[in-house]
Amino acid sequence: MPVGGKSLDRLLSRAGLCSRPQAQAAIVAGRVTVNGRVLRDPQAWVDIAHDQVVFDGALLRPRPKEVWALHKPVGYVTTTDDEHGRDTVYTLLPAGMPWLSSIGRLDLESSGLLLFTNDTHFAASLMDPASKLPKVYEVRCKGPLPDAVLVQLRNGVLLHDRMTLPAGVERIDDDDRSTRLRITLVEGRNRQIRRMLMAVCSRVQTLHRVRIGPLELGDHPEGVCRRLSEAEVDSLRAAVDERRAANADAAAVQRRPC
């Protein structure tokens, strides 16, 4: 493999022009030239420092890396297109923005903090299971849950073939029909909180994400997207680095012979 450069599809994606699958389709369709010649191989190796890449007639100039936060409302799916015609979160992003990809997902019936970026390295670091970056949710669930059930949720419940990792579970309030909890997860299994509540014979009524690492949703208006400041992005990077270092140290201690 050549030193330096990237595959053509990855180069377009990293430049923030489109997703990698969209880049592959564009390349195969002949919409990309390299040094004046149409190149239809998405895996062709290109070095932007030496090669002239033109996409849809425009010379490739990598766009600044950006991270945006959306207060996602209920009723939107986290995808660019939906085969069932449902509203997607991308309709809430401001017009004229560079291509952005969501960092993780919130399902149709969930609301709260959702991040977007054109920085694939940053997205991968936040989603890396090794970072165990905590995410905090406020959840209303069916029924008055006794303390013993909260302990069970904290310690882990069996979902199909393996237990969930220990989670933070705090009671906010309750009544005779429902319980409101603050749940902190350090893993991101599919529809995890909904499945955890089902495992203890309850179910989610509302689910709202309020924090990712050090970043709080706060009073960010529903349905509104804003660009994160450099300080906010740096704080997320620092949190990931800190968590990775702590987890690596813990793993090293566990491997140490008695």
Alpha-carbon torsion angle 242, 247, 249, 252, nearest 10:
-160
Which residue blocks in 39-119 are alpha helix, DSSP H?
Answer: none
Catalytic residue of the set 41, 82, 107, 174:
107
Cα 58 to Cα 8, 40, 61, 150, 220, distances in angstroms:
15, 17, 9, 56, 36
107 assigned to active site: yes
Can you tell me the distance from the alpha carbon of 68 to that of 116, in angstroms, rounded to the nearest whole number? 5
Can you tell me the distance from the alpha carbon of 219 to that of 148, in angstroms, rounded to the nearest whole number? 33
Can you tell me the distance from the alpha carbon of 97 to that of 95, in angstroms, rounded to the nearest whole number? 6
Can you tell me the distance from the alpha carbon of 184 to that of 146, in angstroms, rounded to the nearest whole number? 19
Would you tell me how many other CB atoms lie within 10 Å of the CB of residue 222? 13
Q: Which residues belong to the active site? A: 107
